[in-house]
Structure 1
Amino acid sequence: MIQLNLVKVGMADLNIATDGAILKTTGLGSCVGLTLYDPIRKIAGMAHVMLPSSEIARETKMNLAKYADTAIPELLDRMIAAGAYVERMKAKMAGGAQMFAMSGQSDSLRIGPRNVESCTEMLSKFKIPIISQDTGGSFGRTVEFDSNSGMLSIRSVQFGTKEI
C-alpha cells in the first residue's frame, strides 16, 4: 500500500486514524499488532503490544501502549473520543511469533503466544470480536491498516504480502 497519509505506530505505541489514513507498524516478532475498527465511522486504531501484562511493569512512568491489558483500554478511549462506538468495533491482529526455539519452554519465554492470549482475553472483556488474525509462527511481520476499508495488510520476508 502506497499512501500519502501514513500514521506510524512505533514499538510499544498506539494511535488512531481516520479519513483514509493508513496505520503502519514494523518489527512485529513476539509483539502483537492489534487493530480495532468502527466500520460505520471509519475510525481505525492500532496498538503495537510488547508484553502481555502490566503487572511486571518496572518503569516509573507507565507506558500504557506497552502492555495488552493497558493498551486496549487506552486505544478504546482514544477511538471513542474520536466518535467510534465499542458496540460496532471489530478486531484483527498479527504477530505474536515465537521467535526463539528453546528447550523446556518456560512460560516466561512464550512471550508471543502469551501476547496473543492476553489480547484475546482483553477483547473478550469488551465483547469485541476478532474477525481475522495472522498470529504465531516464528517470523516477523510488518502491518498496515487502512482506516477507509478496515483491511489489514501483512508483509513478511518468508511469505510475502497477504490481506485480511
Structure 2
Amino acid sequence: MEIIRIGMADLGVAKSPDRLRTTGLGSCVGVVLYDVVHKVGGMAHVMLPESSLGKGGQITVGKYADTAIPRLIQEMERAGASVRHMVAKMAGGAQMFAALGNCDTMRIGPRNVEACKKALQSAQIRIVAEDTGGNCGRTIEFDTSTGILQIRTVNQGVKEV
C-alpha cells in the first residue's frame, strides 16, 4: 500500500489498495471521487472556486473547482473508472477569516464548497458524505480499498465517512 500525497492546488488518482492524503484544508476543499465498482479513487485540493479568478493566461488546473473536478474525472477514467459509478465526498471549506468580516471576498471556504457542489452536480456525481464549514483546519486520507474517508479536524479528533 502506498500513500499518495496531494499538495495544494493539486490532484491525483489511486487504485486499491493505495491511499490518497492531503493536509492543510482550511478554506480549501478536499474533493474525493470514488468509483465503487473499480475501486479507483481521486482527490483534488481545491483552493478557489473559479478559474476566472486566476491572473494571466496560465492557470493551475487543480487550484479551481471548475477545472479540478472535470480534470479529476478525466484522470480517473484513464485509470479505468467510470463516471456512472462515481460518488463524491468532501471536507474543508472552513471560514478561516470570520473575524475579518462577512464580505463575499472573505467567504472563500463557503464559496469553494458551493463551487465544488456545482461542478459535481454538472457531472451528475452524487455527494454521499460531507464535512465542510466550521472554522478549523482538516487533514483527510482516503482508502481506495474500503471507500472510507478519514477526516482529522484540529481540536475535534478523527471521524470516518
Q: CA deviation at 1:59?
A: 4.3
Residue equivalent to 1:152: 149
Matched, 1:108 2:114: no
Contact 2:90 2:132 in 1 (8 A): yes
Residue equivalent to 2:124: 127
Superposed, 1:55-66 pairs within 5 Å as: 55-66=52-63
**Deviation sequence 1:32-86 (CA, Å, 0-9, x none):** 0000000110000000000000001114421000000000000000000111111
Q: CA deviation at 1:157?
A: 2.4
Q: CA RMSD in A?
A: 1.0
Amino acid across the alignment from 1:151? I
Residue equivalent to 1:19: 16
Superposed, 1:1-164 pairs within 5 Å as: 4-102=1-99, 104-164=101-161
Amino acid across the alignment from 1:142? T
Amino acid across the alignment from 1:96? G
Cα distance in 2, alignment partners of residues 101 and 67 from structure 1 = 22
TM-score, normalized by length of structure 1? 0.95
User: Unaligned regions of 5+ residues in structure 2, if any?
Assistant: none
Percent of aligned positions with the same letter in both sequences? 54
Q: CA deviation at 1:15?
A: 0.1
Contact 2:46 2:64 in 1 (8 A): yes
Cα distance in 2, alignment partners of residues 132 and 28 from structure 1 = 16
Runs of 4+ residues deviating >3 angstroms = none
Q: CA deviation at 1:19?
A: 2.5
Q: How many residues align?
A: 161
Instruction: Describe the SS at the equivalent of 2:72.
Output: helix
Cα distance in 2, alignment partners of residues 49 and 141 from structure 1 = 13
Cα distance in 2, alignment partners of residues 102 and 53 from structure 1 = 24
Cα distance in 1, alignment partners of residues 71 and 128 from structure 2 = 21
Amino acid across the alignment from 1:113? P
Amino acid across the alignment from 1:160? G
